Structure formats: C-alpha cells, structure tokens
Amino acid sequence: MKGLLFEPEGSTCSPTHDRKGGRLYRYYMSHTVLKNGAGSCPVGRVPAGEIEAAVIDQLRAVLRQPEIAAGTRKAARAHADDISDAGARAALQQLDPLWDELFPAEQARIVALLVERVDIGTDGLNVRLRMDGLVGLAREMLAGDMGAVA
C-alpha cells in the first residue's frame, strides 16, 4: 500500500516497523508525523495489518456489487473493448472466492492495479478505485490469465 495511503492533510503515509520483545509491529506513519513529531496529525500511525485488511475487505465488497461491473463495462466501451456486462460481472465476481488462494505478491499486484488512493481519517477510510484497473482485471479474469495461486 506504499504510496496509496494518505492522511487527512493530504500527506502520504509510509510503511515502517518496530520490534519490541522480539515481536515485529508493522504500521503506516504519516509523513507529517515524521517531519513534525507525534501529535502533528490526527491519524499519526495506523497498524498495517488493520488498514490493509480494511482496504482488502472494502475492495472485495466492491467487486461483488453489480454496479461496479456496469461501470467496468462502460470504461471498457470507452477503449473499444468487447467485454460484455455479463462478462465483466462474472469476471470480477470470480475474484472474491479466489482471493485467499492467491499468493501475497499476486494480491499486492491486484491491489496496486485496482486502488488509486486510500484516504484515511479519524472517521474511517475512503478507497478510490482505478476504472482502467478494473477493466484490465476483468480482461485477465476472462482470459484466465490470473497469477499463480498457493
């Protein structure tokens, strides 16, 4: 999610970690906090596992929505593509049950393909998708070109 996560003032958040008692703690920290210290940003730092899981959950929920398939078809039509509404819907809905079987590198590739930006605030997060990424993913799913699974 490096480069995709933004705090309320618009600054990016970078992945970082700490080790305490032999345990690794991963999180994302606002560049505002890195420059100006703790308390300079309402978000500060966010546990990496929690934010990554929340983005994935939202992404998977979005892919199950029929409206997304329709939007994907409309974006494909703008590129003179031949993806049908039914084909786009079927392709994108195949990803949800397949997700847990994908290698982490393939999951990360798909997130980078689909997610344009994640804005995080004290009241939650907003995930902005790339329509061209949805078209590309639908094309891959229809062609059976998904990456390796575990």
- pLDDT over 80 (residue 124): yes
Provide the pLDDT for residue 150. Answer: 40
Considering the domain boundaries, does residue 148 fall inside one?
A: no
Nearest Cα residue to 95 out of 105, 81, 110, 109: 110
Cα 66 to Cα 121: distance, rounded to the nearest angstrom: 28
Cα 36 to Cα 108: distance, rounded to the nearest angstrom: 30
Considering the domain boundaries, does residue 19 fall inside one?
A: yes
pTM given for the model: 0.74
Domain count, the chain: 1
- pLDDT over 50 (residue 149): no
Considering the domain boundaries, does residue 149 fall inside one?
A: no
Considering the domain boundaries, does residue 150 fall inside one?
A: no
Considering the domain boundaries, does residue 88 fall inside one?
A: yes
pLDDT above 70 as % of the chain: 79
Cα 114 to Cα 142: distance, rounded to the nearest angstrom: 16
Q: Which domain holds residue 82?
A: 5-143
Beta pairing, strands 13-20 & 5-6 = unpaired
Mean pLDDT of 87-93: 70
Considering the domain boundaries, does residue 137 fall inside one?
A: yes
At 118, the pLDDT band (50, 70, 90 cuts) reads very high
Considering the domain boundaries, does residue 119 fall inside one?
A: yes
Mean pLDDT of 128-136: 79
